[in-house]
Structure 1
Amino acid sequence: MSNRAENLVVQDEEDTQKGKYLTFTLGEEQYGLEIKYVIEIIGIQEITVVPELPEYIKGIINLRGQIIPVMDVRLRFGKPFKEYNDRTCVIVVDIKGVSVGLIVDTVSEVYSIKDEDVVAPPDLTKGLSNRYIKGIGKGSSKVKLLIDCERLLNDQVNEELLNLSKGE
């Protein structure tokens, strides 16, 4: 395939993913993350705890021979821990070349939100609790908080997770 054809295929793929968000719940709130980050969705698995990591990094899982660090999104957002059950899911995402499992209460659906239906989050607390929210999708009866996947992992956490997934 020529470079031009490859670029068109990549562009076409990006266009079909534009405005699409995988929605999930944490408690009563609905969140969305851009579908372009999502690799797959799996049920909760046995997690191997790794010492000396932040509380919200629950450990690692073995996914078909690949070591994937897992993060409890509830804890990352400062919410109380909730016992995992058969509805708990792990959304495996790729953020800056690092595969990470995001533990969420339930996965809902893939939802299309037009750019004009996304508004900036209100600055209620000087940016602290909104630092992971990149926008609010207001296309349906219930608003969805849209997550900035790249902010979910700051550079320090990203480095730790990259070392974990490489087994260092």
Structure 2
Amino acid sequence: METKQKFLSFNLGTNDLAVIPLQHIAEVLQVSLTEICGVPQMPNCVLGIYNWRGEMLWLVDLEEMLGYPQLLQSPNLVSKMMAIVLENEGKYLGLLVHQLTDIEWLNTEQMKAPSAELFYPVISPFLNGYFIKPDTGIVFNLDALAIIQAPMWGNHN
């Protein structure tokens, strides 16, 4: 049984590292904040809609969704950010992050189950588990499907 999987890793907040399995990622692109169309009456973490391949793509501030400070209020705000486009059964959702770090192979057998004591309650529903790496410490393994299917989107995506 193949236990190694390819993951895309990126920064969360100032010190944390997270990964999402590559199989759930449709595309990674650079987004200019001026091209995001704001939408009223949405959760704070929803930044708005972006024109992606001629379709409307909802963009979400992943950090705020997971209980970190808002990306848009960060002191090192840049006008262009990276968006990770998740895909599941024809539904797409764009996650805005500061920067991507790497594509790496991780052994899923070494993944530890998330425990409530270790993590903010906000992040728990979106975690598959976590890895501990000697060089970087804890790496969150985010559950792409839980993020796409989060109740907070209602019928918007």
TM over 0.5, yes or no?
A: yes
Alpha carbons 2:28, 2:84 under 8 Å: kept: yes
Compared CA separation, residues 66 and 17, structure 1 to 2 (3 A): farther
Once the two structures are superposed, the pairs formed by residues 82-161 of structure 1 within 5 Å of their partners are 82-83=71-72, 84-85=77-78, 88-124=81-117, 128-129=121-122, 130-142=124-136, 143-154=138-149, 156-161=151-156
Q: Between Structure 1 and Structure 2, whose CA radius of gyration is higher? A: 1
Q: Quick one: structure 1 residues 125 and 18, their matched pair in 2 at CA, closer, same or farther if it must change by over 3 Å?
A: closer
Partner of 1:63: 52
Aligned length: 148
Once the two structures are overlaid, the 10-residue window that deviates more, 53-62 or 78-87, is 78-87
Question: What residue identity is the alignment partner of 2:53?
Answer: R
Work out which structure has the larger RCO, using CA pairs closer than 8 Å and 6 or more positions apart in sequence. Answer: 2
More helix by share: 1
Instruction: Show structure 2 runs of 5+ residues with no match.
Output: none
Q: Are 1:96 and 1:150, in contact at CA under 8 Å, matched by a contact in 2?
A: no
The separation in 1 between residues aligned to 2:111 and 2:25, in whole angstroms, is 20
Query: Per-residue CA shift, 1:36-60, capped at 9, x if unaligned?
Result: 1111111123100111111111110
SS at match of 1:111: strand
Amino acid across the alignment from 1:50: V
Secondary structure of the structure 1 residue equivalent to 2:125: coil
- Which is further off, 60-69 or 77-86? 77-86
Partner of residue 32, structure 1 = 19
In structure 2, the CA distance between the partners of 1:17 and 1:49, relative to structure 1 (3 Å rule), is: farther
TM (norm. structure 2) is 0.82
Please give the root-mean-square deviation of Cα atoms over the aligned residues, in Å.
2.5
CA distance in structure 2 between the partners assigned to 1:72 and 1:126 by the alignment: 19
Does structure 2 conserve the Cα–Cα contact (< 8 Å) formed by 1:87 and 1:105? no
Shift of 1:87: 6.3
Report matched runs for 1:16-27 at 5 Å: 19-26=5-12, 27=14
Q: Using a 3 Å threshold, how does the CA distance of structure 1 residues 16 and 93 change in structure 2: closer, same or farther? A: farther
Contact 1:17-1:36 at 8 Å conserved across structures:
no
**CA separation of 1:53/1:136 partners in 2, compared to 1, >3 Å: closer, same or farther?**
same
C-alpha separation in 2, matches of 1:63 and 1:93: 13
2:41 corresponds to 1:52: yes
Is this contact kept in 2: 1:17–1:35, CA < 8 A?
Answer: no
Alignment deviations for residues 88-120 of structure 1 (CA, whole Å, 9 cap, x no partner)? 210111034211110011111111111221111
Please give the TM-score of this superposition, normalised by the length of structure 1: 0.77
